[in-house]
């Protein structure tokens, strides 16, 4: 089974998380931004998604309610599966 951004990852973000982070230039609700293959933020590829994962796994995001290990593993599976939209 392929893990996709729209069906598997986006629903994990709360509406308030998406709104808050969009104001900071982090477009959690935008599949094109999240699946962008370009290097950014010190990552060699898919820099936007990898930056978000780094913040999620460190507990910096989302504010007030860190993701469970299951959700982090799902996000990791999405990355390992090729960042499918």
Q: Is the pTM of this model over 0.85?
A: yes
Q: Which of 24-28, 47-51, 55-59, 64-68 has the lowest mean pLDDT?
A: 64-68
Question: Cβ of 73: how many Cβ atoms within 10 Å?
Answer: 11
Q: Could you read off the pLDDT of 19-34 as tens digits, one per residue?
A: 999 999 999 999 999 9
- Average pLDDT value for residue range 60-76: 94
**pLDDT band per the 50, 70, 90 thresholds, residue 7:** very high
DSSP for 21-35? HHTTT--TT-HHHHT
Quick one: pLDDT at residue 64? 85
Q: Are 34 and 28 in contact (CB under 8 A)?
A: yes
Asked whether the predicted pLDDT for residue 49 surpasses 90, the reply is yes
């Amino acid at each position: 089974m392929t893990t996709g951004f729209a069906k598997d990852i986006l629903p994990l973000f709360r509406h308030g998380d998406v709104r808050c982070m969009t104001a900071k230039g982090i477009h959690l609700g935008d599949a094109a931004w999240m699946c962008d293959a370009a290097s950014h933020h010190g990552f060699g590829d898919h820099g936007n998604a990898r930056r978000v994962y780094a913040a999620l796994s460190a507990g910096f995001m989302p504010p007030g309610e860190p993701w469970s290990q299951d959700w982090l593993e799902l996000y990791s599976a999405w990355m390992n599966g090729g960042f499918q939209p």
